[in-house]
A and B are shown apart, each in its own frame.
Chain A
Amino acid sequence: MSWFSRLRNALNPRQLDKDLAEELQDHLERRAAELAREGQGHEESKRNARAQFGNTTRLLEQSRDVRLWTALESTLQDVRYAWRGMRKSPSFTLTIVLSLALAIGANTAIYSIIDAAILRPLSVPDPGTLFRLSYPDITDPGATAGPDRDWFSYPEYVQFASVAKPSARLGLFGASGRVKARVFRPNAPIERINGAFISGEALDLLGIRAALGRLFSAQEDRLPPGPAYAVLSHEYWQRRFGGDRTILGSKIFVNGKAYEIVGVAGAGFWGVEPGKPVDMWVPGTQYAAEALTEIDWHWAHILGRFAPGASAREVQSRIQPSFHNFVVQVSKRFPTLPPTIRQQFLSSAIQVTLAPTGVSDFRKTFSRPLWIVFGVGAGILLIACANVASLLLARSTARSSEMAMRVSLGAGRARLVRQLFTECLFLSLIAGALGWLLARVTGPLLVRMLSRESDPLQFDLSTDTRVLLFSIGAAAAAALLFGISPALRGSRMEPMHSMRAASGQASKLGLGKLFVGFQVACAFNLVAIGAAFLFSLGNLLRVDPGFNPRNVAVLNVTVNSPDEADWIISDGDKRLLEPMAQLEERVKRHAGVQAAALAWWPIFGGTAWSEQVILPSGPTEHEEIFYRVSPGYFAALGTRLLAGRDLAAADHVAPEPSPVVVNEAFARKYFGGVNAVGREFSYPDHDLKRRQVIVGVVGNAHYASLRKAAEPIAYFPVQGANSFTLYVRSGLPLGQVMRMVERESRAVGTNLEVHEVTTLDTLIGNTLLTEKLLAGIGGAFAFFGLLLAGIGLFGLLSYSVGRRVKEIGIRAALGARRGQIVALVLKDVGGLMGGGIVAGLGAALAILLVLRSLLFGIRAVDPWVTSSALTIFFITGMLAASLPAHRAASVDPLRSLRDE
């Protein structure tokens, strides 16, 4: 009986009872009819039929038990059998379960991140009708189309929202940012939470209900802004306030502004950007005044929901005219924009794309690498399956006499296949469970690997049943993959043949060889790819950044406005430079500090100021990076001065043409050589041109990425700013530097506050997260795949040597020397590996060709990558072969022949 009908019986015993009763009734009636035909009376025939039949109830019960239990019983028997078999050879079982568990665990861990970051829809009602607005990225003409941009200004949002009606409702979603918050309660500490600005109807549009109090409404979008309100996330409310319902009406003090808590959003909702959960939402109208009016301050995403029946095309055509208006307005601000870019810019169109999974910058960077790593993980699973299959195959041959015995005792083939298959399923489910546990531990580690310290990702990896289903699915697929052929093989035993073969001819290893060859191919593939990623990372780390990043602490400091709220001054104000310079001086004097310097923001931090370069001969088509630094910056970072002089203290107030220092790339690009001192250029500042004169040329230094060739940079003298970066080169530990700078900040007296401390090495490392992910995981998986392939090779070789003991014995008896016998085994290895390596090499080349854009300094056909992979494989093959070869060589001809 099939599994299906058994399951049906077990789930629906009433139907079974009915069927049984009907069958017995049928029998009784027929018997009664027969008896009646023989001349018995109606009642009599019925009674006799019953008597002949026996106890109906007991039989019904018996039959029912048979139906329900026989099959389940035989399954249980299979499981018991499997368990007993596993306990009998624990090392065999351990090898299988561990290798599968590692493979399933690795896959599950990666899948859990892919699921959380890429696949899982937002936890809002009906996410399928959500869309996001975006536009093509044209800042880099000539480059291949990158990901689109989806940051908009507040005026754009207001315009789009009004024209999109009635086809769609739009909502504004600012990025989730770390803010300092303090609750107005006794002894409340200052803490860092994630806050986000949103529009009044944004939460309502998503379908979020309030768990407590109220959410925002269109009221909050009115200008000028009314009283400041805040809505907390359910999770933050529980975590921080223990679900205290009296929280409503209390104030929370964020970045110097008090907000009244008016509500808590429904449970489970954390925002629209996976990995960036929001603790507190605040109306966008509470943001800085310029953020609400500036059309080129792009700080928020726009998500919308289609009205029933509305199409993306409809919404697009409603918004496009106003989008175009904005583009025209923005382009007017850049009168010197090169015509090709201007053309591209003016013809760009707004895009409306479905966004059930929300918005995510993480996704833009990491979705491709994550899928690659996932593919590598699948490769590992395949290798593990092939490995287990060949192990099982070897064992099924070893168990051939047991199987033969059972076949000759009358076991059906289907029964044997089922039993062998139950074993596989049992093994892989144990492995699946272990793998799932492993993934729960390693998943968060993986996320940490992809996070920046200052802005950690917070993915919810734990609570998803889809991940659990994934590991069960992976385990079942594995069982199918590795179980099928050994099961079929094992059951195909010809009893006579195999019982005789206890002595006889070694059965062929064909299938086993195929599995090992497949493993070698996969593993070689992984090793080649892993090596490519590792070499690629190595190449990047060997790039000379143009400065010495060791032992440089990077401290970001804000100059807080004093309590008088009207003392708001903008960047460039001389009053702000005073405390900055004081702090730098005090830190420099400290023992252990070798150098210190100021800048407006750190390099390799994602912030850049770039302007068009205008030469005396006319405007160029290029924008270059401009960076404001204090005198002594080059010495502090270890960038060489090639010509002229460093910036001086008085340079920031010098009249135009004001002094600047440029790097070698800048000098070569615009002035044809290093000797550019005294040359002039200018940049557009609204309607003015700011004239600069070059006073020095420094060596090239990377600004934002190690990947690109060193960019041209112009260094401007630092001016006063509301926040700035202090570089400190010293041999002191980071914590000590931080405490020292904090002490000095207090000593300076104005409201200086150190709020982010890191090192230059870390900042550079943050730009290499993708490469580190690929190299780390690719390398680890390559090693794991190699190990599995090695085990597979070793297993098959020792097995084949075991089977050929007699043949080897005869050869030895006939005078074969040790070397010849070892060569015999090595020939096997060569044969096994050769085909696999050729196939693997071909596949690896094809894959590397596709992955080229992620590699650095590696050619698709890279001699280093290929030769190192070959070397690694050669060593692995030798290691795997050495023990079996040794065993073969020490076969004693006398003993092996006597065994006959």
Chain B
Amino acid sequence: MPSNRSKSAQNAIDLLVLTVLDRRGPLHGYGIATAIQELSREALRVEEGSLYPALHRMEELGWIAAEWKASETKRRARFYRLTKAGKKQLVSESERWASFSTGVARVLRHA
């Protein structure tokens, strides 16, 4: 599988997507992208297109599921939602993230 991206960046995107889907419920790709920007107050402004390979990868892993639905604009849009496995993943990922960041914070404070 071609992937030039570093593992941690991938993990970060995964965590963001999972969180957004957890908080806001089913969303299409554009919705997810804007939500991430909004929530991070534009601090995390990734190339929007790179979101899609990440979405599709997570779909393959079974963390999120997708289906085509008519959207508010009467156009077909692909909506993603969190699965049970994704929920689990979110919990363990965010725990790891939290312990990692408190660790880093502690180091920064006591160094």
Contacts and interface: CB of A to CB of B under 8 A. Distances in A.
Interface of A: 1, 19-20, 22-24, 26-27, 30-31, 34, 52-56, 59, 62-63, 65-67, 69-71, 73, 410, 412, 414
A63 B78 CA distance: 14
A412 B1 CA distance: 21
A54 B75 CA distance: 23
A63 B89 contact: no
Given A70-B57, A70-B61, A31 B78 contact: no
A62 B48 CA distance: 14
A31 B75 CA distance: 15
A698 B109 CA distance: 118
Determine which residue in B34, B49, B78 has the highest number of CB atoms from chain A within 10 A of its CB, and name it: B49
A27 B48 contact: yes
Contacts of A19: 68, 78
B85 interface: yes
B14 to A, nearest CB: 12
Given A67-B56, A71-B60, A414-B62, A26 B49 contact: no
A31 B29 CA distance: 11
30 contacts: A19-B68, A20-B52, A22-B78, A23-B52, A24-B49, A26-B28, A26-B75, A26-B78, A27-B48, A30-B30, A52-B48, A54-B47, A56-B49, A59-B52, A62-B2, A62-B53, A63-B52, A65-B1, A65-B2, A66-B1, A66-B56, A66-B57, A67-B56, A70-B57, A71-B60, A410-B89, A410-B92, A412-B62, A414-B62, A414-B85
A408 B8 CA distance: 19
Contacts of A71: 60
Nearest to A50: B49
Interface in B4-49: 28-30, 33-34, 47-49
Interface in B59-99: 59-62, 68, 71, 75-78, 85, 88-89, 92
A27 B53 contact: no
B60 A67 contact: yes
Contacts of A56: 49
B101 interface: no
B46 to A, nearest CB: 9
Determine which residue in B52, B59, B92 has the highest number of CB atoms from chain A within 10 A of its CB, and name it: B52
Nearest to B32: A27
B50 interface: yes
Contact of B88 (A1, A53, A412): A412
Determine which residue in B28, B29, B30, B85 has the highest number of CB atoms from chain A within 10 A of its CB, and name it: B30
Contacts of B77: 23, 26
Interface of B: 1-3, 28-30, 33-34, 47-50, 52-53, 56-57, 59-62, 68, 71, 75-78, 85, 88-89, 92
Determine which residue in A27, A52, A56 has the highest number of CB atoms from chain B within 10 A of its CB, and name it: A27
A26 B1 contact: no
Contacts of A23: 29, 52, 77-78
Mostly, the B contact residues are helix
B30 A54 contact: no
Contacts of B3: 62
Contacts of A65: 1-2
B85 to A, nearest CB: 5
A59 B53 CA distance: 7
Contacts of B60: 1, 66-67, 70-71
Nearest to A409: B92
A56 to B, nearest CB: 7
B1 to A, nearest CB: 5
Nearest to B1: A69
A73 B61 CA distance: 11
Contacts of B50: 54, 59
User: Which 6 residue pairs across A and B have the least CB separation, nearest first?
Assistant: A54-B49, A70-B60, A54-B47, A59-B49, A62-B53, A30-B30
Given A23-B77, A26-B78, A66-B60, 7 more contacts: A30-B30, A53-B47, A53-B48, A54-B48, A59-B49, A59-B50, A62-B53
A392 to B, nearest CB: 25
Contacts of B56: 63, 66-67
A412 B61 CA distance: 9
A412 B78 contact: no
Contacts of A55: 49
A27 B29 contact: yes
A410 B59 CA distance: 16
A154 B59 CA distance: 74
A19 B85 CA distance: 25
A27 B62 contact: no
A298 B9 CA distance: 88
A35 to B, nearest CB: 12
A56 B48 CA distance: 10
B36 to A, nearest CB: 13
Nearest to A55: B49
B71 to A, nearest CB: 8
A34 B85 CA distance: 33
Nearest to B73: A30
Nearest to A25: B75
Contacts of A54: 47-50
A412 B85 contact: yes
Contacts of A30: 30
A73 B53 CA distance: 16
A24 B1 contact: no
A410 to B, nearest CB: 6
Contacts of A62: 2-3, 52-53
Contacts of B88: 412
A27 B30 contact: yes
Nearest to A52: B48
B30 A31 contact: yes
A21 B105 CA distance: 43
A13 to B, nearest CB: 14
A788 to B, nearest CB: 38
A412 B89 CA distance: 9
Nearest to B31: A30
A180 to B, nearest CB: 71
A70 B3 CA distance: 11
Contacts of B57: 66, 70
Contacts of B92: 410
Contacts of B2: 62, 65
B101 to A, nearest CB: 18
A594 B49 CA distance: 101
Contact of A26 (B29, B47, B59, B62): B29
A410 B94 CA distance: 13
A414 B84 CA distance: 11
A71 to B, nearest CB: 5
A66 B29 contact: no
A827 B34 CA distance: 69
A24 B78 contact: no
B109 to A, nearest CB: 29
Contacts of A1: 59-60, 62
A59 B55 CA distance: 12
Contact of B53 (A52, A63, A414): A63
A26 B48 contact: no
Contacts of B52: 20, 23-24, 27, 59, 62-63
A485 B30 CA distance: 43
Contacts of A34: 34
A592 B63 CA distance: 89
Contacts of B59: 1, 67
A70 B34 CA distance: 27
B41 to A, nearest CB: 17
A30 B73 CA distance: 10
Nearest to A67: B56
A410 B91 CA distance: 11
A53 B34 CA distance: 12
A65 B3 CA distance: 10
Contacts of B75: 26
Contacts of B53: 59, 62-63, 66
Contacts of B71: 26
Contacts of A53: 47-49
